[in-house]
Amino acid sequence: MRSVDVDVVIPLYNCAAFIKQAITSVQNQTVSVRNIIVVNDGSKDESPYIVSEISAKDKRILLLNGPNQGLSAARNRGIRAAEASFVAFLDADDLWAPDKIARQLAVMEQGGFSFSHTLAEAVDEQGHPVNVPLYTGNVDVPPTFDNIRLGLYPVVGSASAVLTRRDLLLRIGLFDEDQKFGGEDWDVWARLAQYGPAIRIDLPLTRIRIRLSSLQRSMSAETRALSRLHSRIIVARHWEDDPDFLRAHERAARPDLWAVMRWRLLSPASMRELYQQLHGHRHGAGRVLARKPWDFFRVLLWGCGTTLRTILTTPSELLRLWGRLRAEKAR
């Protein structure tokens, strides 16, 4: 088997049921990676012991134990320990198709790309495909720097689908460990894309395990929309001193802002709270969305008009929206 200049970083936290399958999917690649770096982020289950048993038979496996510091910190620790020119990420409950690394490396070695990612499919805890959307954006737009940082190109469904250059990760300052509530992945892909476009392998070579926690099950549509808006601001903050970009960001953010606003239409107090939060945001990329009440009202008019057009052209949309409103009210 051909050896390749790739290290795999696997952050691990309480994943005893799946970590062996994840590592096996790396071992079953059609090429042999240099190191498999498993970063134990303070697991309290048997998963570190499972990794230790596997590593006794595969000297490429390096287990790094440490306290719980979060996903970004675990990935960063793995990147710093890596030695190869290329780094691929794999979450401890996800899986790869056998030819994933070989296909990604073939395009990355051509040069000119900041990172590559494969398509991904969602699977349940038993590994069966499930119908869960993994992407947000338009797959028909090219994966350029502007399209990635503005969220017009689909945000990569999972870090498990990505292979990139280690030197670029170090140059951009790695994952932002201060971001604990989403957006840290998108933030890294956008900063990487400054150094070249991404390239997508149009094959579902990554399998993303969907394990809905009780928190995720209870998360409202409004909370999910807020998370998406927060992620967008976190990404855009790097270029908020560029007036042209800030205007493009303001336009691109309208659907996300409207997605939050529509759940507050019947509550003037909560709408006012949202405006005040954005108006006084610590990042200019947040403040630009609510500089004046008119800016906020303009998004409201845009969202209402867009929704009305959708309802008039697609009657079933009215029933869908009504069902969502009833479901949210019942939570």
For 265, residues 6+ apart whose C-beta sits below 8 A from its C-beta are 271
Residue 38 gets the label, from left (phi > 0), alpha (psi -120 to 50) or beta, of beta
Residue with tokens 């059609």: 30
What is the dihedral sign for C-alpha 208, 214, 220, 226? Answer: negative
- Across the range 230-245, mean pLDDT stands at 95
Give the integer Cα–Cα distance in Å for 222 and 117.
29
Q: For position 231, what pLDDT does the model report? A: 92
End-to-end CA distance of the chain: 53
Residue 234's closest CA among 170, 272, 185? 185
pLDDT tens per residue across span 166-220: 999 999 999 999 876 668 899 999 999 999 999 999 999 999 998 765 345 445 6
Domains of the chain as residue ranges with CATH: 6-211 (3.90.550.10), 216-330 (no CATH)
CA atoms within 13 A on the CB side of 44: 1
Two tokens, residue 227: 């998370």
Please list, residue by residue across 111-137, b when 16 or more beta carbons sit within 10 angstroms of its beta carbon and e when fewer do. Answer: eebbbbbbbbbbbeeeeeeeeeebeeb
Contact (CB, 8 A) for 132 and 48: no
Q: Which residue has the higher pLDDT, 100 or 223?
A: 100
Output the pLDDT for position 214.
37
The whole-angstrom separation of Cα 170 and Cα 162 is: 16
User: What's the average model confidence in pLDDT over 301-315?
Assistant: 78
Both tokens assigned to 233 = 């601001």
Inform me whether the pLDDT recorded for 309 exceeds 80: no
H helix intervals, 94-152: 100-108, 145-149
Q: Strand, coil or helix: what is 115?
A: strand
Mean pLDDT for the stretch of residues 29-37: 98
Q: What is the pLDDT of residue 324?
A: 62
The pLDDT assigned to 287 comes to 96
User: Which whole number is the average pLDDT over 124-144?
Assistant: 80
Rg (CA), the chain: 21
